């Protein structure tokens, strides 16, 4: 059972995804629209984590609006549907996953291995789709009420795409997690020599109403940047880039932050204590250190927080 998030007011309603179960690809809850014109195959993926409602709401919005690609193909995917079916507003964090984190499985040795879980079964079913697409947007949300973030990874092509999308205003470049590889870093997406590109957007706090608005806006801007949708969009605000230099991985069962952090705090002085991991002190490695997505799921082997600095 996933760790329980700190309870928060659930302002969002989980949409009924029953109408999308059959899809048209042979994979349940996956639908592809083909323009039959040259262009990229673009995938918007929701529910990598079953408690992150904003992605499901954004895809439901696209279906209800009858969005179709002007060029190429557009695929809409609801990923960890088994976890989503367990969503309970009274305990909203408990449906993050069923057996294991779906977004730590995207390594060929794991996907080709013998281990079994609900999430691995679904990942293996989706794998041919993921390998076929040219551009991926993976929709997520966060535990804490931090400003939205676009996670662009380390390859320059993803940074370039994030800038074309234009939102959110903060772009994070990071290498991922020690606990496993994310979908957005799978194979060609992380290969600088491949044109295939992926982005992961953290749209805001899991269950705040505005998080769904961010997911919808980011998705529509992504589709416009991909050339599959024509949109009249307001100019986006300037973006800033945070280069992550270190992911703090929890090493003991006694990890505790030194104070309550929400995310995107800038710690002015190097050497400032931010956490203790058992007897080990975690201190900022440089001046003006930015804290990215401090976690409340303080589980050994998982990422507690990422440390970075704003690019000049």
Residues 293-312: tens digit of each pLDDT = 999 889 999 999 999 999 96
Q: Are residues 192 and 251 in the same domain?
A: no
Please tell me the distance from the alpha carbon of residue 308 to that of residue 244, in angstroms, as a whole number.
Answer: 4
Contact between 273 and 283 (Cβ < 8 Å): yes
Query: Is 140 domain-assigned?
Result: yes
Query: Is 6 domain-assigned?
Result: no
Q: How many domains does the chain have?
A: 2
Q: Are residues 198 and 260 in the same domain?
A: no
Average pLDDT over the chain, rounded to an integer:
95
Residue-number span of the structural domain to which 278 is assigned: 244-310
Q: What is the CATH number of the domain that holds 189?
A: 3.40.630.10
Residues 128-176: tens digit of each pLDDT = 999 999 999 999 999 989 999 999 999 999 999 999 999 999 999 999 8
Q: What is the CATH number of the domain that holds 302?
A: 2.40.50.630
What's the helix, strand, coil split of the chain in %, to 5? 25, 25, 50
Q: Are residues 199 and 121 in the same domain?
A: yes
Q: Are residues 177 and 283 in the same domain?
A: no
Query: Is 235 domain-assigned?
Result: no
Query: Is 86 domain-assigned?
Result: yes
Q: Are residues 136 and 251 in the same domain?
A: no
Residues 6+ apart with CB under 8 A from 90: none
Burial of 119-129, coded b for 16+ CB within 10 Å and e otherwise, reads bbebbeebbeb
Query: Is 303 domain-assigned?
Result: yes
Q: Are residues 274 and 168 in the same domain?
A: no
Query: Is 34 domain-assigned?
Result: yes
Q: Are residues 152 and 260 in the same domain?
A: no
Tens of pLDDT, residue by residue, the chain (312 residues): 344 444 458 999 999 999 999 999 999 999 999 999 999 999 999 999 999 999 999 999 999 999 999 999 999 999 999 999 999 999 998 999 999 999 999 999 999 999 999 999 999 999 999 999 999 999 999 998 999 999 999 999 999 999 999 999 999 999 988 889 999 999 999 999 999 999 999 999 999 999 999 999 999 999 999 999 988 888 889 999 999 999 999 999 999 999 999 999 999 999 999 999 999 999 999 999 999 999 988 999 999 999 999 996
List strand residue ranges (DSSP E) for the chain, in order: 30-34, 41-46, 73-78, 135-142, 149-151, 170-173, 197-205, 240-249, 255-257, 266-267, 273-277, 280-283, 289-292, 303-310
Q: Are residues 37 and 183 in the same domain?
A: yes
Q: Are residues 150 and 184 in the same domain?
A: yes
Query: Is 71 domain-assigned?
Result: yes
Q: Are residues 256 and 174 in the same domain?
A: no
Burial of 113 from C-beta contacts in 10 A (0-12 / 13-18 / 19+): exposed
Q: Are residues 70 and 153 in the same domain?
A: yes
């Amino acid at each position: 059972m996933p760790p329980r998030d700190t309870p928060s007011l659930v302002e969002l309603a989980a949409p009924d995804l029953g109408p999308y179960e059959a899809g048209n690809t042979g994979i349940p809850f996956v639908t592809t629209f083909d323009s039959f014109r040259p262009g990229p195959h673009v995938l918007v993926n929701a529910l990598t984590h079953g408690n992150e409602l904003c992605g499901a709401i954004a895809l439901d919005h696209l279906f209800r609006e009858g969005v179709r690609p002007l060029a190429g193909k557009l695929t809409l995917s609801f990923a960890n549907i088994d976890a989503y079916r367990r969503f309970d507003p009274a305990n909203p964090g408990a449906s993050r996953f069923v057996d294991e984190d779906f977004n730590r499985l995207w390594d060929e040795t794991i996907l080709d291995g013998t281990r079994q879980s609900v999430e691995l079964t679904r990942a293996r079913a989706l794998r041919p789709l993921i390998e076929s697409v040219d551009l991926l947007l993976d929709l997520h949300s966060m535990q804490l009420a931090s400003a939205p973030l676009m996670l662009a990874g380390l390859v320059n092509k993803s940074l370039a795409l994030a800038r074309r999308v234009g939102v959110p205003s903060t772009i994070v470049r990071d290498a991922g997690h020690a606990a496993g590889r994310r979908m957005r870093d799978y194979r060609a997406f992380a290969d600088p020599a491949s044109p295939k590109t992926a982005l992961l957007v953290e749209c805001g706090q899991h269950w705040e109403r505005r998080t769904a608005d961010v997911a919808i806006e980011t998705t529509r801007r992504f589709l416009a940047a991909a050339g599959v949708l024509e949109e009249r969009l307001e100019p986006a605000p300037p973006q800033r880039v945070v280069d992550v230099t270190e992911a703090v991985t929890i090493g003991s069962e006694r990890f505790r932050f030194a104070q309550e952090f929400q995310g995107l705090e800038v710690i002015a002085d190097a050497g400032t204590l931010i956490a203790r991991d058992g007897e080990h002190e975690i201190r900022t490695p440089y001046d003006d250190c930015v804290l990215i997505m401090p976690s409340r799921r303080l589980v050994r082997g998982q990422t507690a927080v990422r440390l970075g600095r704003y690019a000049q």
